[in-house]
Amino acid sequence: MAKINPFEIVQTQIDKCAEILKLDPQVTAVLKSPMRELHVTLPVRMDDGTIKVFHGFRVQYNDARGPAKGGIRFHPDETIDTVRALSAWMTWKCAMVDLPLGGGKGGVICDPKTLSTGELERLSRAYMRSVFQFIGPERDVPAPDIYTTPQIMAWMMDEYSAMMGKTQFGVITGKPLAIGGSKGRGDATARGGMFTIREAAKALKLDLSKATFAVQGYGNAGYYAAKLCKEMFGSKIVAVCDSKGGRYNEKGIDPEEALACKEKTGSVCNLKTGKPISNEEILELDVDILIPAAIENVITEKNAGKIKAKIIAELANGPTIPAADDILYKKGVHVIPDFLCNAGGVTVSYFEMVQNFYMYPWEEDEVREKLDRKMTEAYNSVLKTSREHKINMRQAAYVIAVKRVVEAMKLRGWV
């Protein structure tokens, strides 16, 4: 099967939005390309003394609304088009929650699971040295994404600071607490998603205390989603999986047990509870809420018709392709689109930037309260637009976010 190119999906989504907004084709043309991109080659000394060459990217998709913002992904399947797509989604995401930021994304083609700690540190520092002149607190601020951790953010911040000759906490977010990180950043993506689920449940009159959840992906977003749906709503998590497979148990799965199993054995599929379930099967389970929290392109026209969940809360970036969106909308599945549902991560990253600029850390309840306000407002504006214009939730989110980006471009005299 031909691989789905996520940047082509972005183009389709922008075209659709341009049609709804009746955008000037010249404006649409600007929106359809990244403003800037950097390709870097990273020679890294491995533990055995040899030099291995890695390739990386940083894309600043659009910074009309403020400095570019977005994570760095370390992944063996990384491509420039994936980074372009993710940087476009970051642009809409920051606009969606009305942050004074543009969108960017970075990536390195590598398999961090095969690297030693020393190799990973040297790779992280090499990446930072290569993109040094391209980024900065007022230019472009990276953060974690798939397979990049607070420790990696710490090394990168340190490398940038060493080159600047002064501590520069504000160059990157998702740092450990002791060196300029924000309270509440760890679970922010999932918590933000939970606030949107809470609002969706109100709109659909769904009792979350009786609801069942299935979570695809057990990284930072997936694990916290499983933990928080139980903690915040008393919901039951009946299935979890990761890249190696998963487990289903209608009586419920303990999120902490699943985490301990993943840490010990490398995968939640080794849990002793319930029965095995594949990555594909989990999407078609008869649950109230499905949370794709792994990678792109998992919900397609092939499986969309078989989805039984009432709500799909997209904690992953780009899990649903456009053809599937149409099917889900016709079926009445309520989709909370990625750049709304997972905007909690970048929102708390932005709070981290603010705390760094002010040198004044906030308490966790302040972070949570401000996050709740941002997510609740964003969700309800999308729901209202979707109902008013009779368009699906993703199109409604696009309409709001793209309008804001276009307004900034116009005011700056770009278009």
Chain residues binding ligand GLU by CB under 6 A are 69-71, 93, 143, 145, 173-174, 317, 342, 345-346, 349
User: Based on CB atoms, which residue is closest to ligand GLU, 235 or 317?
Assistant: 317
User: Based on CB atoms, which residue is closest to ligand GLU, 70 or 292?
Assistant: 70
Least spacing, CB of residue 254 vs ligand GLU, in Å: 27
- Tell me the torsion sign for CA atoms 324, 202, 383, 397: negative
Least spacing, CB of residue 299 vs ligand GLU, in Å: 18
Least spacing, CB of residue 355 vs ligand GLU, in Å: 14
Give the residue numbers annotated as catalytic, written as ranges.
105
User: Based on CB atoms, which residue is closest to ligand GLU, 261 or 315?
Assistant: 315
- Helices 343-358 and 364-389 pack at an angle, to 10 degrees, of 140
Whether the Cβ atoms of residue 399 and residue 56 lie closer than 8 Å to each other: no
Nearest CA-CA partner of 256 in 227, 233, 214 = 227
Least spacing, CB of residue 10 vs ligand GLU, in Å: 14
Tell me the residue number closest to ligand GLU, measured at CB: 71
Amino acid (one-letter) located at 245? G
Amino acid (one-letter) located at 299? I
- Helices 220-233 and 188-204 pack at an angle, to 10 degrees, of 50
Least spacing, CB of residue 187 vs ligand GLU, in Å: 13
User: Token pair of 346, please?
Assistant: 């970048």
CA 265, distance to chain mean position in Å, is 26
DSSP H stretches of helix in 266-363: 322-331, 338-341, 343-358
State the residue for tokens 């637009």: 385
User: Based on CB atoms, which residue is closest to ligand GLU, 84 or 93?
Assistant: 93
User: Based on CB atoms, which residue is closest to ligand GLU, 82 or 317?
Assistant: 317
